[in-house]
Structure 1
């Protein structure tokens, strides 16, 4: 890109801002270069790799997330609220769920988020280790559900009749047809809250305030 016969200058902040506008789902060095009107070589002079670019953009996106904590919430209610807020955020930023799921925290924004959760659960009687375990478990479940939800949506767009075929296959079975008839209409939000509430209730019961993380049995009881 040239202005008045001179090559326009840009900084790392411009690269990150362009990446945030593009989003993690569509992020490439080429797209950032195109957005800035420069060559990929020029971008690489500021960012050594596509992975480094992803980290910078991911951290910038995560910096926008601010978690609300209702002090009236029980531990389980707080965990559900945390998961729901996380879900809303990553759905609004396509590709971020997969990015955060692969490695978290990666930088200052992720550390800040985890520290916020440790503080919130600390106010409910949890030490930092237990708070980290609970928060990480809920984040893992929430992000996994969002990734699955996004995958179903993407495949639904790419595969005409996919959802209809699945429904037809189930209704072809008398057992599953009866099962479907007994399941009330619900949204993706309803399903998420149901699963997360069950998980949060179980986690809070399994790890109440004051119980040391070291006392938990992390080994699967059926492993040999």
Structure 2
């Protein structure tokens, strides 16, 4: 991604950390998801989220979604962050699912609510995507859904696609100029670099996960987000 996009994502990540510092932990629950991404029922995850958080469904707005898959397609980690109302109070929710299907969530009061898509709309669209047709990295795949706004252009060396009903259609260039947030979905090969330090008796393993700056990604937009763009260019048909 270009420097402007990376900067915005960094600012959003820093804000997420600040919000997380005031979130309150709640009891854990377990759900049963398929052992891999092929047919992963993300809409079921949203139903569980409604049950455990108490958020008013119609007020929910996605802020961030992260899905990590191992090299064999097995689910490694899911993070879902969204805003919503509960008993008349605006809140932020942070939901995590680990590789064993255990769900943990945190919630905290916020001063304002951002206007992303309803989480279920995004989860359903990704749910339709056939991961069998996507090349995984050495250590799996990462799906990263961010919420952004402002003046941004996607193109140049990026691989761009429209995601509609599980089908990926190539795009050439997209330009946004909007105060209304939209979602950008990065789907990246996952490469984990491991190094060891210390003596044989005391060994520390450092794990670094590559991100979108490695060039091993493509960028996806949903139709409702392209509706917010001021310009969408498709590749020339030959």
TM-score, length-scaled by structure 1: 0.28
Q: Is the helix fraction higher in 1 or 2?
A: 1
Q: Is the strand fraction higher in 1 or 2?
A: 2
Q: Which has the higher contact order (CA 8 A, sep 6+)?
A: 1
TM-score, length-scaled by structure 2: 0.27
